[in-house]
Amino acid sequence: MQQDIRAILPHIASTAQKPNHTLCPTDSWCKYKNDPEAYKHKNGLPDSVVECVKPILEDLADENFLKKCLHGKTQNNNECLNKLIWDRCSKEYYAEKETVEQAVYSAVAYFNDGAVSITKLFEKLGFPGSYTLNGCIARDRARITQSAKQCSDRAKKRRKAIRAIKKGFRDTTEAKEGDMYSDGGH
């Protein structure tokens, strides 16, 4: 994977006058490696852009970073916050800047303090809210309990077993039917 990531930038920067596919792996996504005579280069990236993007791709190719991607683990610690934001302000419909800002403020407050964060807003607005407070506390307790269950060794083993079963099913299906999807294979 490191080699593939490091090959992306020279591949994209290549032009007909300056082809640079030395890092591209054979038998993979690089169509130039598969058939150099038929491959038509597009406008390559300017050298100035390549120099700006190079450190980012080097960070992405870092071994410690890639270890996070193994076994289906997430590489993005902000997925939970992103989900909270998009639950409040869907990407499917247009929203004005103020609406998106309010969704972000609400999501960050919920992410940091839990459901109880809404009671602070209600206090500022002058709403009485003992029932709301009790409901938010109960919701936070349920969320924490659910999170603790999901983090237990038993739950982790179960998820790994299910993932292995699904992967085995995909592997056997792929062996029977052939590669159903491949990068650039359309």
Per-residue pLDDT tens for 51-97? 888 888 888 888 887 776 665 555 555 678 888 888 899 888 888 99
Structural domain count, the chain? 3
Residue 27 in contact with residue 76, Cβ under 8 Å? no
pLDDT bucket at 101, cuts 50 / 70 / 90: very high
**146/160 same-domain check:** yes
- Point out the domain boundary residue: 12, 43, 72: 72
- Residue 31 structural domain: 2-72
**146/122 same-domain check:** yes
pLDDT bucket at 99, cuts 50 / 70 / 90: very high
CB atoms within 10 A of CB 14: 20
Residue 17 within a domain:
yes
Residue 125 within a domain:
yes
Residue 185 within a domain:
no
How far apart CA 135 and CA 181 sit, in angstroms, is 47
Residue 186 within a domain:
no
Residue 93 within a domain:
yes
Q: What's the confidence (pLDDT) of residue 111?
A: 85
Q: What's the confidence (pLDDT) of residue 98?
A: 93
Residue 114 in contact with residue 136, Cβ under 8 Å? yes
- Point out the domain boundary residue: 72, 95, 130: 72
**96/109 same-domain check:** yes
pLDDT in tens, 114-163: 888 888 888 888 886 788 888 888 988 998 888 888 888 888 888 888 88
Residue 184 within a domain:
no
